[in-house]
Structure 1
Amino acid sequence: MTYATKWSVPNSSSMKYNIANIQSIYRTKRLIKIFAHFFCPTPLPMRDIVVLSGSSHPNLAKSICRHLTVEQGVLASKKFSNGETSIEIQDSVREKDVFIVQSGCGEVNDNFMELLIAIAACKTASARRVTAVLPLFPYSRQPDVPHAASLTGAPSLTVKKDQYTYESAPGTPKPLRDDTTDVFASTPPPLSLMTPSANSSTDLLSKATLNNLRIPTGGTSGKIPSLTPTAIVTNSAAVNIPSVDAYGRTESGYKQWVAQNGTLIANLLITAGADRCITMDLHDPQFQGFFNVPVDNLYSKPLLKRYIIDYIPDYQSCVIVSPDSGGAKRATSIADALGCSFALIHKERRAKITKTSPSASGSAQASPMVRHASASSVVGNSATMVATTMLVGEVKDRVCVLIDDLVDTSYTITRAAKLLKDQGAKKVYALVTHGIFSGDAPNRISKSAIDKVITTNSVPQVHTAAILGDKLEVLDVSRILAEAIRRIHNGESVSMLFDHGW
């Protein structure tokens, strides 16, 4: 009876209030759904997908699977006693979308061969599509000559930590050969015909190298020259071979031909059966042209830009610096997005000056252009090869942020930091996408003028973090890679990741 009395005759005013309240709640829920649909889209269920991990960076693959909320596939990699790689895929990949995560770090050749065998194994097991996920693409950046510390001045593992300072600079590479002992410097005298005799038979036999004629007279048997042409030089470049420095360049700047492995690596991946590739910050974006399959080159620019905004104090007044001319476009894009100033460091490794000319090391030109000599060595009697760096921009009493895509031996970035500190920079940050830190690079950075190094986990940073400690900060790129994998698997667009990240 109480229930009927309470609800049988409702008040008109309270009814209007309740209806308005319900409508308001409905509109609020509707707005929440619309907001969630556009800004927090619910990911589609991940079906028929397998994520496998190579031996180069298993932790990154685990993070990607955690973001995708899928179980990581089981891939067993073994090595025989002779070094050959054996791959066993212990999950079914038939008619599934397979993603193999393998970064180009560590033992690069072994890891790349492991990736090729894993791709071929998945295609043999009737996988619907195989995508190679290479956060750091191998062989996309190579020096002009093979790594040799004695030639290129790269840091050596034999240098002790307590004896190393960032003031140390390797000497400018010397020519690979000595012109004083050049066998082509002079034309050899022509051989003259000699009459065979008993006394000269031994000499004739030792000098006979031009034809197969034999002299039957005089009791002498063997090959002797019947005709010796006189050497006539018609091209001076054929005998006057210029000296070549450790970077394969002559004085005119011509660089000797060096094998570029971009086409070979692309053909190996395609031949193994890769249907698509995902990578991040290629050293040269034109590298994608070597492939006949789609290549998604993700950018770390949104991640680095967000770090600058959140963790660098007064970032509006900082200076974005490119350590070399090759990375100027990458640094200027971040500087334009943030509205910051830009500076450039230009390297001239083989600048030639005479002994009588004024030294470039002691002349610092007026700002914003400053020339700084980093190392020198005498070649010959009249010239000196000086490695100079030129700073274009104003950095005095300002925070500098070095932007680069890859740090290997860290020679370039440490010399750039020293030049910035010499010109009055207040603090130097180094933001790099791929921190390889090979050789003695961690020790070099720990003794350098860099205040903080920020890199990503596209390469394992466990050993580097143990040396640098608080000087190193690692950003996680697994969310970006996971979102790219999810969008590719569901047939969605990946273009938004280029500008907005994830």
Structure 2
Amino acid sequence: MPVNTDPKLIAGNSNIPLADAIAKRMSMHRGQAVKPIDTRVERFNDGEIFVEVFENVRGEDMFIIQSTSNPANDNLMELLIMTDALRRSSAQRITAVIPYFGYARQDRRTKARTPISAKLVANLIAEAGVERVLTMDLHAAQIQGFFDLPVDNLYASPIFALDILHHFQDMEDVMVVSPDVGGVARARELAQRIKAPLSIVDKRREKAGEVAEMTVIGNVTGKRCIIVDDICDTAGTLCKAAEVLMDAGATEVHSYITHGVLSGPAVDRITNSVMKSLVITDSIEPTAAVQQCKNIRIVPTAPMFAQAILNIAGGMSVSSLFDNETLEPIYESLYPNS
């Protein structure tokens, strides 16, 4: 099938500022205005979702920008119904750009008689008519295998590496920390990028959302520790890990988290924690409380997503965005001396 190199964007309600930022960035690359197409996404009184596309999309290469974040079910249904509307309007190809892929934490059966919801969501997305998925930092890499269609999984670690090198001038005492054994690969990848040592906080859970015990593996005495993870929900584990690191001799604790879910008491916990800073991406639209929190900083993902969309539309490599040589020019305005 011939590929249309003139992609069109359509935005759901989950993260309109990110969709607008991606469109603005694509406008800069292409030298002409790019805007999400005119669409009506609304709800009937009983909560049913209705979508109407006001522009012709026949034969177009369509990219739906929609995180399946809180409210996860509403945003997921928006994505599915928008896909159906585009498919029935004869769009040539439909790519779902899902910066934050909800239900990703339910990627396996941890107990008897429990679902694998991430696989169910993958089936729903494919059945609706999506032909490709573009996402960032899936909670588990094997979720890509739940889809019988191409999945491009971008990584926040190259962006985080640029940010760290820009804000941490002296790297001699910096140490990257994985908050659990399962996240070691993610933390190691960032540690290699910034040439820093790696430590691990081993945690033992009694039940979901509660941590019974934490142990630091590695010597963090006199180190500025950077905790790296993909999701921060209620921030209980993150704040406790920061306390454990400080008790173990760390001089400072910072955190770099891709997806700032930050539900419930998260912002209050972070505000009152020993963490000096928390850096998140805008994969989930930040609430007013998150934006006003003094020790939370947000780094943009629009430059990376915009370039990835252009690469997909033009039949070019997406994995090239994992290389510093490719990524640095995209983020040059933010980190001019990195």
**Residue 112 (str. 1) matches residue 76 (str. 2):** yes
Q: Name 1:188's counterpart in structure 2.
A: none
Question: What is the alpha-carbon distance in structure 1 between the residues aligned to residue 165 and residue 302 of structure 2?
Answer: 21
Question: What is the alpha-carbon distance in structure 2 between the residues aligned to residue 271 and residue 433 of structure 1?
Answer: 28
Measure how far apart 1:308 and its partner are: 1.1
Q: Name 1:474's counterpart in structure 2.
A: 298
Task: Check whether the contact 2:96–2:132 (CA below 8 A) recurs between aligned residues.
Answer: yes
Question: Match for 2:267: what amino acid?
Answer: P
**Residue 64 (str. 1) matches residue 16 (str. 2):** no
Measure how far apart 1:326 and its partner are: 1.0
Q: Name 1:128's counterpart in structure 2.
A: 92
Question: What is the alpha-carbon distance in structure 1 between the residues aligned to residue 204 and residue 318 of structure 2?
Answer: 39
Question: What is the alpha-carbon distance in structure 2 between the residues aligned to residue 449 and residue 144 of structure 1?
Answer: 33
Task: Check whether the contact 2:107–2:118 (CA below 8 A) recurs between aligned residues.
Answer: no
Q: Name 2:164's counterpart in structure 1.
A: 308
Question: What is the alpha-carbon distance in structure 2 between the residues aligned to residue 91 and residue 399 of structure 1?
Answer: 52
Deviations 1:262-295 (A, max 9, x none): 2211111111000100000001011000111100
1:100-499 equivalences under 5 Å are: 100-142=64-106, 255-350=111-206, 387-468=212-293, 470-499=294-323
Question: What is the alpha-carbon distance in structure 1 between the residues aligned to residue 221 and residue 247 of structure 2?
Answer: 9
Question: What is the alpha-carbon distance in structure 1 between the residues aligned to residue 25 and residue 285 of structure 2?
Answer: 19
Question: Match for 1:279: what amino acid?
Answer: T
Measure how far apart 1:257 and its partner are: 3.5
Question: What is the alpha-carbon distance in structure 2 between the residues aligned to residue 467 and residue 442 of structure 1?
Answer: 10
Measure how far apart 1:143 and its partner are: 9.5
Q: Name 1:356's counterpart in structure 2.
A: none
Question: What is the alpha-carbon distance in structure 2 between the residues aligned to residue 276 and residue 264 of structure 1?
Answer: 16
Task: Check whether the contact 2:38–2:54 (CA below 8 A) recurs between aligned residues.
Answer: yes
Question: Match for 1:321: what amino acid?
Answer: V
Question: Match for 2:286: what amino acid?
Answer: Q
Question: What is the alpha-carbon distance in structure 1 between the residues aligned to residue 233 and residue 148 of structure 2?
Answer: 29
User: Could you list the runs of 5+ residues in structure 1 that have no partner in the other structure?
Assistant: 1-45, 146-247, 249-254, 351-374, 376-385
Deviations 1:18-56 (A, max 9, x none): xxxxxxxxxxxxxxxxxxxxxxxxxxxx96421010000
Deviations 1:144-201 (A, max 9, x none): 99xxxxxxxxxxxxxxxxxxxxxxxxxxxxxxxxxxxxxxxxxxxxxxxxxxxxxxxx
Question: What is the alpha-carbon distance in structure 2 between the residues aligned to residue 349 and residue 493 of structure 1?
Answer: 40
Question: Match for 1:408: what amino acid?
Answer: D
Deviations 1:70-112 (A, max 9, x none): 1221111111111100000111100000000001212110111
Question: What is the alpha-carbon distance in structure 1 between the residues aligned to residue 236 and residue 205 of structure 2?
Answer: 13
Task: Classify the secondary structure of the residue corresponding to 1:432.
Answer: strand
Task: Name the CA shift for 1:449/1:143 in 2 (closer, same or farther; >3 Å).
Answer: farther
- TM superposition score normalised by structure 2: 0.89
Question: Match for 2:129: what amino acid?
Answer: G
Measure how far apart 1:441 and its partner are: 0.6
Q: Name 2:54's counterpart in structure 1.
A: 90
Task: Check whether the contact 2:5–2:313 (CA below 8 A) recurs between aligned residues.
Answer: no
Measure how far apart 1:430 and its partner are: 0.5
Question: Match for 2:320: what amino acid?
Answer: M
Task: Check whether the contact 1:316–1:338 (CA below 8 A) recurs between aligned residues.
Answer: no
Greater RCO structure (CA 8 Å; 6+ sep): 2
Task: Classify the secondary structure of the residue corresponding to 2:284.
Answer: coil
Q: Which runs of 4+ in 1 moved over 6 A?
A: none
**Residue 79 (str. 1) matches residue 37 (str. 2):** no
Question: Match for 1:475: what amino acid?
Answer: V
Which of the two has greater strand per residue? 2
CA RMSD across the alignment: 2.0
Question: What is the alpha-carbon distance in structure 2 between the residues aligned to residue 415 and residue 478 of structure 1?
Answer: 31
Question: Match for 2:130: what amino acid?
Answer: A
Task: Classify the secondary structure of the residue corresponding to 1:113.
Answer: helix
Task: Classify the secondary structure of the residue corresponding to 2:323.
Answer: helix
Question: What is the alpha-carbon distance in structure 1 between the residues aligned to residue 6 and residue 108 of structure 2?
Answer: 44
Deviations 1:313-369 (A, max 9, x none): 31232110011111111101111222211110101235xxxxxxxxxxxxxxxxxxx
Question: Match for 1:483: what amino acid?
Answer: Q
Task: Count matched residues.
Answer: 315
Question: Match for 2:76: what amino acid?
Answer: F
Task: Check whether the contact 1:308–1:315 (CA below 8 A) recurs between aligned residues.
Answer: no
Question: Match for 1:431: what amino acid?
Answer: Y
Question: What is the alpha-carbon distance in structure 1 between the residues aligned to residue 226 and residue 317 of structure 2?
Answer: 32
User: Could you list the runs of 5+ residues in structure 2 that have no partner in the other structure?
Assistant: 28-33, 331-338
Task: Name the CA shift for 1:349/1:268 in 2 (closer, same or farther; >3 Å).
Answer: closer
Task: Check whether the contact 1:317–1:341 (CA below 8 A) recurs between aligned residues.
Answer: no
